[in-house]
Amino acid sequence: MTNVKTSSLGYPRIGENREWKHALEAFWAHKITEAEFESIMKELRLHHLNKQKKNGLDLIPVGDFTYYDHVLDTATMLGFIPERFDHSGEKVSLSTYFSMARGNQSVQASEMTKWFNTNYHYIVPEINGTTAKLTVNRPLQAYLEAKDELGINGKPVILGPFTFLKLSKGYQDEQFAEILKSLVPVYIKILKELQDAGATWVQLDEPSLVTTITKEEMDLISHVYKQFSQELSSLSIMLQTYFDSVSFYEDVINLPVKGIGLDFVHGAQQTYEKLERVGFPTDKVLGVGIVDGRNIWRSDLHAIYEQLQRISRIVPAERQILQPSSSLLHVPVSLAQESALDPLLKKTLAFADEKLGELELLKQALTDPSEKTRAKFHESHSAIKALAQSPWRTKAKGAFRGPSKRSRPFAERQALQRAKWSLPLLPTTTIGSFPQTNEIRRARNLWRKGELEETAYKNLINEKIKKWIEIQEEIGLDVFVHGEFERNDMVEFFGEKLAGFAFTTFGWVQSYGSRCVKPPIIFGDVAFIEPMTVEETAYAQSLTSKPVKGMLTGPVTILTWSFVRNDLPLKDVAFQIAQALIQEIEALEAAGIEMIQVDEPALREGLPLKQEDKAEYLAWAVESFQLATSTVKDTTQIHTHMCYSDFHEIIDEIRALDADVISIETSRSHGELITAFETNVYDKEIGLGVYDIHSPRIPSEEEMTKVIERAISVLPYELFWVNPDCGLKTRAEEETIAALTNMVKAAKNVRETLPSKNTSLQ
Ligand code: GLN
Ligand code: ZN
């Protein structure tokens, strides 16, 4: 009999039915009082702890719950409250906390960005010369609450100082070491108070250890943790990493802490290799992140059992704590309510609650294996096997239809395309979607429920298309779009029409603040069934003599915004999607649509965390785009679109996509992006967004004229397109028309000043 323990790194906040989101939004809308809000939140928090307790978890995380974001919690706990927010005294009020998260009429919210390579977004802490000071010991509060209310001796979860500072802004690189040092006494205070309250374990999250860091930085971390260990007696630190293998394995395992938590799912190969080659200290506990905390697939318990045997050869089971590979924040709460899923598929899934159940089974198997445990192991194995052998997963691997290069180089295509399209200089266009009114949303919901007839729904969509074709004529745009009225979401829309995708009913995960998303599940071979976008696009084209762009979502974005099957490399799934898109593109071409935009807003998001892994990812990401878009005629113009402006890192790959035209979001950081293009000659056609669509403000003609002038002072004007930053789906109709009217006027103003007498691009 072996004595092995289980733990978890964090539990989803949102609740089985998104109670968390609803409470937050009700509070923001002043529909409930602060006291009511606090009491709903407490109830949820305790409910989550109870569920974990019932699941038999030995070490239950506390303090991972939040009212918005755990990084914001850490910043406000350490006293990093930018001056522009109203704050005085010790306590951080809820109103200060939420204005940092969301802004208010008079102050701008803090910046928000992606949490490592996940779809969760955190609030970026601002240091700006502030010295750390403990405002409130949040982990202590959480620890005491769990102890007093439920008798749970919880494991407080705290974002570690190194990662906290890495994720912050408002300081120079040279100041890093000094600021890190100044955080140490505050962390020591937090830890000591926890120790005094009786806590035995504390989890310090340092996921930045899996990114590419320098040896100097690693030494700083060692120094910090050494100071922690000198100050603590009965409190043990679990130094927790996740999302990949750690960069400095030997240094990390030798940190003076009691436990080291490693990810045995993501970057597992390197972690096993290091563990087996270098070993693991005999006086430490190993946090074994063995159940995937990032994806929704059930574990093959037989396979995991084997892996644990392998680990046990280096670290005996008594010194292991079995846990998910990361916080369960990234998966939905429970499968219990998913009654609409195909039973064969459902049996292969595990959300947060089911994952905790798996840990419990693994523990049982190791401590006191019974017939029942064995049966469960067998069940998990057969369920996964059944899916693997199902007709959904039969596609021959690796046999992809080429070509993956356009038949002529860009320069030749460009000449042919100019002759074909005769667009003016600085052609104007939009990114795809036009405002989605409540009327459309309501109609779509009714139609989905079967309460509105298909023809009535389609008629409404067609009415909108017609209305917006007329508006585009009126405004005088050069290249039109149909407006994407039939789409709720750019990934879901295609997922519902392609083979290989499934949709849950309650499978929500937090994206940022109260916003949750319900990612599709790519469970089988992705395949084209029938044309998905031809009808609406061809209808739009029939109403105008201006070109209408076909509008598709690219393979990498579909992949990145879904839960993806884990039996194939991501690359293979991307190529399957690309194959399906080829057929859609051919169908569009056959219907006379010869400008086709393939959106890849998530291209950058999919980047791996380690520098050395990036090239491989980018290579297949680019190849999947090329695969999807290279069968077209030379005169067919392929467009692409990307959001977020931080492109310096991937400018070569953007070029390699070989799209004829790209549109990029830039208006929020114009200077930076233009510099990137200054230093990296970009030779294809490009539209740098001339106005920010995230704000209801209507940009003036003068303002956009200046933006265009500035852009063509860097880029050759023959290559430049004029368009907004992104899709206009979330904007109101009136403001959209006003903004686009000004945009077209601005383009015309600049067009008139251009040297070419003939302002057509022929
Ligand atoms: N074509 C999409 C739209 O306009 C692009 C959205 C995006 O980039 N996220 O809505
Ligand atoms: Zn966009």
pLDDT tens sequence across 546-582: 999 999 999 999 999 999 999 999 999 999 999 999 9
Bridge partners (DSSP) listed for residue 286: 260, 320
Quote the CA–CA distance of 600 and 560 in Å, as a whole number: 10
pLDDT at 608 over 60: yes
- CA-closest residue to ligand 1 atom 4: 727
Instruction: For 306-352, write each residue's pLDDT tens digit.
Output: 999 999 999 999 999 999 999 999 999 999 999 999 999 999 999 99
What integer is the mean pLDDT of 658-668? 87
- Give the pLDDT score at 673: 62
Q: Which of 224, 201, 369, 360 is nearest to 285 (CA)?
A: 201
Q: What is the pLDDT of residue 694?
A: 79
Q: 5-391 domain in CATH 3.40.50.720?
A: no
Yes or no: domain 413-756 corresponds to CATH 3.40.50.150 = no
Q: What's the whole-number mean pLDDT along residues 440-465?
A: 96
pLDDT given for residue 679 in this prediction: 66
In this prediction, residue 714 carries a pLDDT of 82
Q: Read off the pLDDT of each residue in 589-602 and give the average, rounded to a whole number.
A: 97
Q: Structural domain boundaries of the chain?
A: 5-391, 413-756
Taking the centre of ligand 1 as the mean of its atom positions, its distance from the CA of residue 599, in whole angstroms, is 7
CA 486–ligand 1 middle distance (angstroms): 13
Residue 403 pLDDT class (50, 70, 90 cuts): confident
Choose which residue among 481, 647, 723, 726 to substitute to test ligand 1 binding: the one with the highest number of ligand atoms within 8 A of its C-beta: 726
Are 251 and 222 spatial neighbours (Cβ–Cβ below 8 Å)?
yes
Name the residue among 220, 214, 115, 111 with its Cα closest to residue 159: 115
Which residue puts its alpha carbon closest to atom 8 of ligand 1? 601
Q: Which ligand is nearest to the CA of 599?
A: 1
Amino acid 645: pLDDT: 60
Counting beta carbons within 10 angstroms of the beta carbon of residue 435, is it exposed (0 to 12), middle (13 to 18) or buried (19 or more)? buried
Equal fold, 5-391 vs 413-756: yes
Could you tell me the two tokens for 701?
């003609």
The tokens 């490399």 sit on which residue? 569
Distance from the CA of 667 to the center of ligand 2, in angstroms?
A: 12
Average pLDDT over residues 658-674: 77
> Which is the closest atom of ligand 1 to the Cα of 433?
4
Residues whose beta carbon lies within 6 Å of some atom of ligand 1: 431-433, 484, 490, 551, 599, 601, 641, 643, 726-727, 729
- With a cut of 60, say whether residue 398 has pLDDT above it: no
- Rounded to 10 deg, the angle between the 570-590 and 534-542 helix axes is 30
Q: How confident is the model at residue 759 (pLDDT cuts 50, 70, 90)?
A: very low
SS (H, E, C) 688-757: ECCCCCCCCCCCCHHHHHHHHHHHHCCCCHHHEEECCCCCCCCCCHHHHHHHHHHHHHHHHHHHHHCCCC
Q: Which of 641, 645, 694 to mutate to test the pocket of ligand 1 (most atoms within 8 A of CB)?
A: 641
How do strand 201-205 and strand 685-688 relate by DSSP bridges?
A: unpaired
- pLDDT tens digit string along 464-512? 999 999 999 999 999 999 999 999 999 999 999 999 999 999 999 999 9
What confidence tens digit (pLDDT) does each residue in 97-143 have? 999 999 887 888 898 888 999 989 999 999 999 999 999 999 999 99
Question: Which among 756, 743, 755, 753 is positioned nearest to 427, based on CA atoms?
Answer: 743
pLDDT at residue 667, as a whole number:
66
Q: What is the mean pLDDT of the chain?
A: 94
Q: Supply the residues annotated as catalytic.
A: 694
pTM for the complete prediction?
0.95
